[in-house]
C-alpha cells in the first residue's frame, strides 16, 4: 500500500501524542538552572572554606561530575533526564552521565573491551575536539602575542 505524503502526514499526526512544548521547555530550563545553581552554591561553599578562586571552580566541576556519576550509577539521573530532557544534558553533568551510562551498559563485555572502550564512544569525540579547539585557541593567542 503506497501512501501519498499528505495521507502519511495525516496518519502520523493522528497517531502521535501531543507534545506539551511549553511544559517541556520549562522543565528543561528549571532543571538545567537548578544544576547550575547547585554548581554556584558549591563554588561559594569552597570559597567560604578559604580556597582560591580557581581551585574552587575546579573542585566544583569535579564535585558535579562525581555526583552525576553517582546518580547515574544509582539510576536516578536517567529518571531526571527523562523528565527534564536537554536541561539535564547540557551542563557538565550530562557529559558525566553519558560516560558512566556507556560504561555500565557494556560492563558485561569485560573491563577493557566493554567498559574501557565503550565509555569513550560518546566521550571520545568531545575530548578530541575539545583538545583540538584548545590547541587552535592557544596557537591563535600565541600568534597574537597574548601568551607570554
Q: Is the pTM of this model over 0.85?
A: no
Show the cell assigned to 10: 495525516
Tell me: the pLDDT tens digits for 22-33? 898 999 999 999
Tell me: the pLDDT tens digits for 25-83? 999 999 999 999 999 999 999 999 999 999 999 999 999 999 998 998 898 988 988 88
Tell me: the pLDDT tens digits for 112-142? 776 667 777 777 777 788 889 989 998 998 8
- 14-29 burial, b if ≥16 CB within 10 A, otherwise e? eeeeeeeeeeeeebbe
Amino acid at each position: 500500500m503506497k501512501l501519498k505524503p499528505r495521507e502519511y502526514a495525516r496518519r502520523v499526526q493522528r497517531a502521535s501524542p501531543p507534545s506539551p512544548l511549553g511544559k517541556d521547555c520549562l522543565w528543561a530550563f528549571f532543571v538545567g538552572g537548578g544544576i547550575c545553581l547547585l554548581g554556584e552554591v558549591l563554588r561559594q561553599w569552597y570559597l567560604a572554606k578559604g580556597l582560591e578562586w580557581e581551585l574552587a571552580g575546579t573542585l566544583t566541576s569535579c564535585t558535579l561530575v562525581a555526583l552525576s556519576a553517582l546518580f547515574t550509577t544509582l539510576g536516578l539521573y536517567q529518571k531526571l533526564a527523562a523528565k527534564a530532557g536537554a536541561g539535564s544534558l547540557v551542563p557538565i553533568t550530562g557529559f558525566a552521565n553519558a560516560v558512566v551510562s556507556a560504561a555500565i551498559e557494556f560492563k558485561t563485555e569485560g573491563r577493557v573491551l566493554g567498559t574501557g572502550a565503550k565509555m569513550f564512544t560518546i566521550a571520545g569525540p568531545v575530548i578530541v575536539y575539545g583538545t583540538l579547539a584548545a590547541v587552535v585557541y592557544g596557537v591563535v593567542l600565541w600568534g597574537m602575542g597574548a601568551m607570554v
